[in-house]
Structure formats: C-alpha cells, structure tokens
Structure 1
Amino acid sequence: MEEKEQQGDSLQFDSRVDLTKLQEAVAQIKSELGKVIIGQQNMIELLIVSILSNGHSLIEGVPGVAKTVTAKLLAKTMNVDFSRIQFTPDLMPSDILGTSIFNVKTSEFEFKKGPLFSNIILIDEINRAPAKTQAALFEAMEERQITIDGTQYDMEPPFLVFATQNPVEQEGTYRLPEAQLDRFLFKINVHYPTLEEEVEILERKHEQKNAQIEKLITSVLSAKQIAEYQNTIKEIIAEKNLIKYIAAIVDNTRANANLFLGASPRASIAIMDASKALAAINGRDFITPDDIKKVATPILAHRIILTPEREMEGLTAEQVVKQIIESIEVPR
C-alpha cells in the first residue's frame, strides 16, 4: 500500500510540467547540428538555452572554430526568418534598421525595413561597427522594438540576436560598451577542438566532398512552437532558497575586492531564466544549484569589470566568477 502511494506521488511529481515535447525538440536540434558540427557541445547547449530563455548570445572565439556556421545552422533548424549582417567600420544605423524612401507615385515617404527586421539575426564580427551603429541595436535587443522617425515598429517574435567577435584581432574594431554587453544573456567562449574532434572534422569533410552543408539541416521548430516552449520554461519551479542563492552570487560581485564593476539585477534574472531552461532541457521541472553554477559564468563574466590591479596580475573575469561561486554556501 505504501509502495503504491509512493508510485502515485512520483507520477504526480512527474506530471507537474510536461517537458516531453520540449526535450524531443532539443534532441532533434542537436541531432540536426550533429550532421555537420563536431564537438562544441557547450556552445550548442548554451545557444539552445538562450533561445528557450528568449535571450541574445555573444559568441567569442578565434577564426575558424565554427562560430558563424553553428549559429547559421541552428537558425536553419527553426522555420523562421533568418538574416545575416556582416558588421564593418563603415556600417551606418540605416544599413541595419532601414530607411525612408520617397515614393514618386504616392508623393510620400515609405519606410523600407532593414535586415534587422527578422526573427534570427546573425551579426558577424559585431565589434567592427562604430558606436553609432552599435547604439542602433540597443532598443531592438532590449525592448524588441525600433523607433524611427517617431514611429514604433515591433519586432516579430521570436527575435534573437546571435553575434560573433574575434578576441585576437583588434585592428579596425570597436570595444562593445558595457550597456550593450549587458543586453546579451550569454557570452560564449569557443575553444579549439580536441585532437580527436579535429580528426573527425577532417574525415567528415572528406566524406561530404562537395555537399552543401545547409541542405543537410532540416527545420524542426516553428515560431509557434518556440513561443510555446518559452512559455513552458516560465513554469519551471525555482525554490526560494535557490533564488536567494542566485541573489547572493550577484550581490557578491558588487562588493568584491577584485572587481571595479559588479553585475546588475538584469544578471540575476538572466541566471534564473537560463537555469530554468537548462533544467527543462534535462527533463526537470525544478532548478538545482548545478544549473545555476553552469550558467553563472557565461552570464556574469562579460558583465563585470576587474580592477586595474587584478587585470595587470592576469586575473580573468571567469576566474573571479568561479571564486565567488566557490565562496558561497550551496543551499541544501
């Protein structure tokens, strides 16, 4: 009798939030990307988390580690509009937002939408555009709208920006302002593949010969499904002690001797939302301390600024975040 009651409780527990379809969709996306992308599982998982959390991602890595290809193919797995913008030093705001053109037939100005009016935006080498063009992204990224000539244009959901940048080459680049960095949910650092992965990359490329990789990818998600899964994520349970744990981590960045600038409440919300998405991907309707720990570094590292002394000593933002996480007691 007692065993039956326990089984009943287990079934009731499992049915609080139905994550079956969401998990199947994530598995399909990973399977489709696996046809082309070797390794880079952390980047792929964080990008999927950013989609479910309705957040933008900044991808940083040296040339040739599949930053652009992965973002482009991930967009291909979704049956939504996709736009790729190559940022250059001479790019103007009107080049991405659009411009008003005089129509001779109607004797009126008509607004022609730019490439930013899409669902998934891939911005290649985002740090190559000047401050004026970077500023044009602020409103769109945060409020999902653009105001031009006094008229407000709402962006069609989903609206997600995947941006790439090269950390090595600094000539002809402009450092992204803190206000813009804060609008990215994640900053994902992409590393070189392992020796085994590189061998597999070469073998796969040899086998594919002249195959067009984009044609290998099938769309598995619609805009309606993405919105549905984003709403499902909001139902994931965050216990009060874990909410306090998130707040303690972020609060520590504001009083840390190694840091000149700490993280804002936007970072706290980002950690909670991303933890919920990560929990859902793993089939749980509740977040755990491990979820929080996993997303904290890519969420906080680009939002904090080291003191000049610590920067000169070679300390990195990632190391400081890890030190903060280790110093705070994990709730039981």
Structure 2
Amino acid sequence: MNALLTPLERGPLPLPNRLVMAPMTRSRARGGQVTALTAEYYAQRATAGLIITEGTQPCVVGQGYIDTPGLHSPEQAAAWRVVTEAVHARGGRIFVQLMHSGRIGHPSLYPDGGLPLAPSAIASGERLYTPDGLLDHPEPREMTSADIARSVDEFVTAARLAVEAGFDGVELHGASGYLIHQFLADNTNRRTDAYGGTVENRIRFAVEVVRAVGDAIGPDRTGIRLSPGSTLNGVRESDTELLYPALVRALVPVSPAYVHISEFGTRDITKLIRADWPGTLILNPHPGSPDPTGADPAAVADGADALRDGVADAISFGQLWLANPDLPERIAAGGPFTGADPTTFYGGDHRGYTDYPTLAGR
C-alpha cells in the first residue's frame, strides 16, 4: 500500500490516512463570512486525513486580502459551523488556519481605514489586488507591547470561537511572510525589545501564541505552520538554520499537535527541524520543477518517500486537493490527476471550486 494511505496513530491526532489538505486562499467569503458553497467545497474533500482551511483572520486588522473569511464574531462562527458539520457528516476532520497578515494588509480592508500592524515599521514592497487595481502596501505601524498582548488575546479568542464552531482544532499561520513569520525574520523584525534582535527574542511571539492558544483550547487542538527560508511577501531570513531548530525546541514543552513545514528550499532544513522535533510533523513538499497545474505524480512520490524516510509523519498537498476532491482514491489507483485551473483560484463562483470531477464521475 502507498505510505500516504496508511493510518497515522502517533501523537494526539490519529488520522485514517496521511494525506492532509493544505490551506489555500480562495477569496470567496463575501464580507468575511463563509457560505453554503464553502461547506460543499470542504465536504467534498472529507476523505483527507485532515483538512486545514484557508487562512482565516482572527481580528479585523488581521485581514490581508479581499473576501477572505474571519473568525472573530459569533456570526462568523455560526457560518463556519455549517462547514464543520458538513465535513463531520462525511467522516472528516477539519482544523481552521488562523492567519494574521500583519504588514500584508491595507487600510482599504479595515472599517476605520487604519494602518496594518507589524513588528517593525517596514513596508513589504508588495501590493494588494482589488477590483479597482493594485494598491501598494503602506508602511505598517510598529506594534507596541500592548498591541502584542492584544494580538495574542485575539488569537486565543478566535481559537475559542473555532471550538464553538465545531472545528477539531486550529493551525496558527507562522509562515509565508505573515505576522508570526514577520516576528521570526530578521529583515522584518528590527525591534530592540524582548521581541527582537536575538533568535531567542524573535521566536518569543510565536511561542507565546502557541502556548496561549494551547492553554485555551488544548495543545492537542493546536498546530503551527512554518516556511523556513521562504521569501514570500518580502521576508528574508539570514539565519534560517539556527532560527527554526531553536523555535521547535522551544515548542517541545508546549506540546502542540503538530508542526507543519512548507518547504521552500532544500530538504536539508526540514531534516534539521525533524531532528529537534519529536512530535508529529506534517510536510508540504515542493520537489523541483513541479507541474504548474498541480497534477504532478512526482509530488505524490516525493511525499511517500518523505514518509518512508522518517522526515515527516503526514504530507499536505494544495493544488492536488483543489483539483482532485477524491485524492486518496486517485493515489490508490495510480492516477490520473486532474490539473488545477489557476484562473479560478481566487474569487468567483462554483467554477474551479466545487465542480472538479471525481474518478467515479468521469
């Protein structure tokens, strides 16, 4: 049997297979609220060992893109409950990814027109896409100590709302150049207080958020996603090989459910993290020159190899799940895999969202 299809029993999160649906922004949450179409989309993919939702802002100022969902009000939690019930009705498990975008935000997204927040007042150099064109990200406001404490509390409140909404847990987005990652990286964090400078100080915010959320809803319901070496959204790290082993060592006493690594460069850094992380490790692999549509058997083979080599305990895929809602069945059959349509990734209706065929429906 393909290693991806075997159960995962270790740790606090037993899974029927080792195929995880990676978080993917889809920008179909009008006004920050998910819909019945969202429920259908995730329920179609309930055969995943675990679904991790698209990035979901834990507060108003955490939003970074148009039409992304929130989880900071009772109304948003009620809308998400329709999603979790649909997934559970089909036997699935689902975590919500809590994503504070930090400096990857824009005043046009916030009712008060205020500035986005970040560890330091350094603009991303990136732009926000809107129906009216591209807008430059402004220089963010540097967070005060009170802002940092408030942000931790907002993650905790959103995590509690997630449990009320029926989620099996939460994943904290510490990757891809968003707020937690901005604290980790030395080009976005120029602070001179206890949250900046040394590796020990730069990992402090990430550890505090994981600990606070774990204390609130249980560490077995709390995961974190990391992307060592990623340069997305203008982030640069000069000390990746020191930074991430130190971070996961600091997380060991906190005992989160898993660490989720999104590979950006070579597998060497993943192996370094694995050596220091005794808990469950989910890997989002990025083999060289993948098919741009995601219909890449090499990615499946690479994931299975990572399991056999002990580098990871479960493997997450993005576009493969997007375009193949019956991914376990396709892997068992050896394919074929449907390619994703990038023109429907963000925004729109059911097209490119809930209309991808299954093998049985061909």
TM class, shorter-chain normalised? Answer: under 0.3
- Normalised to the residue count of structure 2, the TM-score between the two structures is 0.26
Q: Which structure's CA Rg is the greater one? A: 1
Give 1 or 2: higher helix fraction.
1
- Normalised to the residue count of structure 1, the TM-score between the two structures is 0.27
